[in-house]
């Protein structure tokens, strides 16, 4: 029987399918919770969640069908592993579109939080997101027109698509890092500071600051998993050419995008409740008693309405 470099990839293939099925189930639960808890959200935000769910359903459905045909119908047929089907291309496109939807959503959030300024964050994020989807579509078209999958004998297709795949996954990785860094930096700048008579600056711990602190944690957590899977996909693609090991990072990536976005949307009530605390706000004590009295005279809840409004917007959107 002829062998194929993909023969050792059935394991990673099935592991990838198992992972994305679990993540999809988590996404279904979070989608139900979202519409149950936030039925009064903006119509465009609810539409985005629906479209995202449809894309992920399409991705899982086509990949599951492709898995069944390959593993069950063609059990033991190693050469069939190199056959490209329309389902393979469809699940790739659905995953790419899911990723770019979430990336564009967070770019809009960052755009508003920065006073609707395009630089220095929004434009680079949008460029890398568009480069991500463009490279993904070009990659899919490339392997479709050749009529073969990535595991063709002598790696012909692999050589033809390596540049496009590297560009696509690198764009995803860079975009994730930019989004995470932009959210963290933007929210950090919104924290309340006050200056005493000696010119010393102290950070006030108000309910808004507590909310911003929690949102910064959410922003970092949101980006960590997608960055890890993007990096893993790139490493496995380079380390094990001509196999499907890179599926372990590539396929769960879009499901993690969906779950990270829904998790941040569904945690808004919790963030808002915790940030208020038992007294509504707290402050740190200054070292000088006269400075402390001056600070006590400030009504912190109205100290910076612009920052509060933006923090509330961030809590509503992320």
Q: Which DSSP category does 194 fall into?
A: E
* CA–CA dist 133, 26 (Å, integer): 25
* CA–CA dist 157, 287 (Å, integer): 68
* CA–CA dist 38, 41 (Å, integer): 6
Q: How many C-beta atoms lie closer than 10 Å to residue 42's C-beta?
A: 11
User: CA 195 → CA 208, 262, 290, 299, distances in Å?
Assistant: 18, 39, 13, 15
Q: Which domains does the chain show, CATH number per domain?
A: 7-191+202-276+302-317 (1.20.1070)
* CA–CA dist 87, 68 (Å, integer): 11
∠ CA 251-256-260 to the nearest 5 degrees? Answer: 165
* Residuewise pLDDT in 10s, the chain (318 residues): 455 555 567 788 888 999 999 999 999 999 999 999 888 888 889 999 999 999 999 999 999 998 888 888 877 776 666 666 778 778 888 999 999 999 998 888 888 888 888 888 889 999 999 999 998 888 887 776 665 444 443 334 555 677 888 888 889 999 989 988 888 888 777 655 554 455 554 455 455 556 666 666 666 777 788 889 989 988 988 888 777 788 888 889 989 999 988 888 888 777 666 656 554 433 333 344 344 343 343 333 444 444 555 445 445 555
Half-sphere exposure of 266 (CA within 13 A, CB side): 19
Quote the pTM value. 0.75
State CA 26 to chain mean position distance: 15
* CA–CA dist 198, 209 (Å, integer): 24
For residue 250, give both structure tokens.
Answer: 């590539």
């Amino acid at each position: 029987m002829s062998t194929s470099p993909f023969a050792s990839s059935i394991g990673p293939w099935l592991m990838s399918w198992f992972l994305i099925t679990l993540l999809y189930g988590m996404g279904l639960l979070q989608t139900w919770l979202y519409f149950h808890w936030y039925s009064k959200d903006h119509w465009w935000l609810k539409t985005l969640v629906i479209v995202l769910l449809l894309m992920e359903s399409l991705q899982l459905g086509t990949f599951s069908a492709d898995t069944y045909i390959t593993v069950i119908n063609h059990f033991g047929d190693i050469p069939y592993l190199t056959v490209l089907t329309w389902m393979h291309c469809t699940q790739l496109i659905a995953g790419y579109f899911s990723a770019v939807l979430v990336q564009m959503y967070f770019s809009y959030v960052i755009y508003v939080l920065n006073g609707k300024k395009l630089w220095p964050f929004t434009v680079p994020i949008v460029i890398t997101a568009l480069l991500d989807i463009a490279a993904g579509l070009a990659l899919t078209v490339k392997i479709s027109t050749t009529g073969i999958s990535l595991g063709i004998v002598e790696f012909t297709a692999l050589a033809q698509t390596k540049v496009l795949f590297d560009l696509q996954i690198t764009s995803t990785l860079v975009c994730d890092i930019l989004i995470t860094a932009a959210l963290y930096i933007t929210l950090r700048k919104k924290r309340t500071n006050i200056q005493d008579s000696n010119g010393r600056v102290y950070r006030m711990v108000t309910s808004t600051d507590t909310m911003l602190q929690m949102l910064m944690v959410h922003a970092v957590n949101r980006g960590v998993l997608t960055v890890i899977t993007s990096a893993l996909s790139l490493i496995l693609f380079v380390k094990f050419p001509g196999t499907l090991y890179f599926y372990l990072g590539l396929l769960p990536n879009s499901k993690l995008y969906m779950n990270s976005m829904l998790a941040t949307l569904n945690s808004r009530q919790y963030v808002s409740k915790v940030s208020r605390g038992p007294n509504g706000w707290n402050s740190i004590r200054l070292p000088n008693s006269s400075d402390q009295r001056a600070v006590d005279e400030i009504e912190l809840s109205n100290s910076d309405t612009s920052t509060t409004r933006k923090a509330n917007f961030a809590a509503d959107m992320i």
